[in-house]
Amino acid sequence: MREQNDYIVYVKDLTKVFGDFVAVDKINFRVEKGEIFGFLGANGAGKTTAIKMLTGLLAPTSGEAVVAGFDVRREPEKVKYNIGYMSQKFSLYDDLKVSENIRLYAGIYGLSRKEIKRKSKALLEELNMVALRDKLVGELPLGWKQKLAFAVAMIHEPAVVFLDEPTSGVDPITRRQFWEMIYKASVAGTTIFITTHYLDEAEYCTRVSIMVDGVIEALDTPKNLRLKYGADNMQEVFVLLARGEHTLQGKIKKEK
């Protein structure tokens, strides 16, 4: 049997209750190092609540979650140093320059002055943004901002990066480039935990979980999921699951 610490994300019976509403109901899953883990679900399915618990923003009601080897309940501070986070809302400061944004986040994550210098340079070169270093982030096109935000979220070399709908509102070409960055990071050993509304993106994930009404309804590789539900693409799988038509109970509920 493998230890829970062998996984980058280890979740057992994780539950969050708000009043008498069960937002997340005893979910279980494990994410391995270097995986691109797609975390799907309709709005209100409990995705955001689950991510908030994994990133230490929300305390679980019960259950266990170990992220990057640290228990989110007992060592939230250590978890924070070892994860990156990029939200659907834009996460950089528009009124700061590109270089200032990089320096700020590197500083917040406790990098030394020397490291900050080295990292900023490498990051700008990698993104082809050296010439833009003194531009205000607010003046950049959205696609550039998203790529920069992703790179900044990884500046402290976290074990796992949580991406909460990072590509919403971005044009197809930039999305494509964004996914290339994600692949690169995953090959380099960083685990990616991503939520998205674009179901074609789900096909790019190593494994995909689909949450419905607070529980994980399905979890497998995109290929296996398609085969299992006899669907042509992830879109069909998702619609099938989210509507609850795959179970007998769901069918009865639907017909009522």
Would you tell me how many other CB atoms lie within 10 Å of the CB of residue 242? Answer: 19
**Which listed range, 63-71, 74-82, 200-208, 223-231, lies at the site for other proteins (CB under 8 A)?**
74-82
Least distance in angstroms from the C-beta of 195 to other proteins: 14
H-only helix segments in the chain: 47-54, 76-81, 98-108, 113-126, 142-153, 172-187, 199-202, 222-229, 234-242, 248-255
The one segment of 53-61, 118-126, 174-182, 224-232 that binds other proteins by CB under 8 A: 53-61
3 binds other proteins (CB under 8 A): no
Least Cα distance to 166 among 72, 81, 51, 59 occurs for 51
Question: Do residues 132 and 147 touch, judged by C-beta distance below 8 A?
Answer: no
Question: In angstroms, what is the minimal distance from the CB of 122 to other proteins?
Answer: 19
Q: Which of 30, 47, 103, 175 binds other proteins (CB under 8 A)?
A: 103
- Closer residue to other proteins in complex, CB, 112/221: 112
Q: Which stretch binds other proteins (CB under 8 A): 31-39, 92-100, 222-230, 235-243?
A: 92-100
Measured from the CB atom, the residue of 95 and 255 that comes closer to other proteins is 95
Residue 55 to residue 25: CA distance in whole angstroms? 18
* 3-class DSSP state of 207: strand
Q: Does 186 bind other proteins (CB under 8 A)?
A: no
How do strand 83-86 and strand 160-164 relate by DSSP bridges?
Answer: parallel
Q: Nearest approach, Cβ of 202 to other proteins (angstroms)? A: 24
CA 52 to chain centre: 11
Give backbone dihedrals phi and psi of 201, rounded to 5 degrees, phi first.
-70, -30
* 198 is a site residue for other proteins (CB under 8 A): no
In the complex, the smallest distance separating the C-beta of residue 242 from other proteins, rounded to whole angstroms, is 26
In the bound state with other proteins, the residue whose beta carbon lies nearer, of 91 and 196, is: 91
Q: Pick from 9, 14, 58, 234: which binds other proteins (CB under 8 A)?
A: 58
Among 112, 128, 224, 233, binds other proteins (CB under 8 A): 112
Question: In terms of CB distance, is 136 or 231 closer to other proteins?
Answer: 136
Q: How far apart are CA 126 and CA 190, in angstroms?
A: 17
* List of residues 6+ apart from 169 with CB closer than 8 A: 142
Check if the beta carbon of residue 98 is closer than 8 Å to that of residue 138: no
Residues whose CB falls within 8 Å of the CB of residue 101, separated by 6 or more in sequence, listed in order: 92, 93, 137, 148, 152
Comparison of 178 and 204: residue with beta carbon closer to other proteins: 178
Range 115-174, binding other proteins (CB under 8 A): 162
* Binding status of residue 109 toward other proteins by CB under 8 A: yes
Q: Which residues bind other proteins (CB under 8 A)?
A: 55-59, 77, 80-81, 83, 85-96, 100, 103-110, 112-113, 162
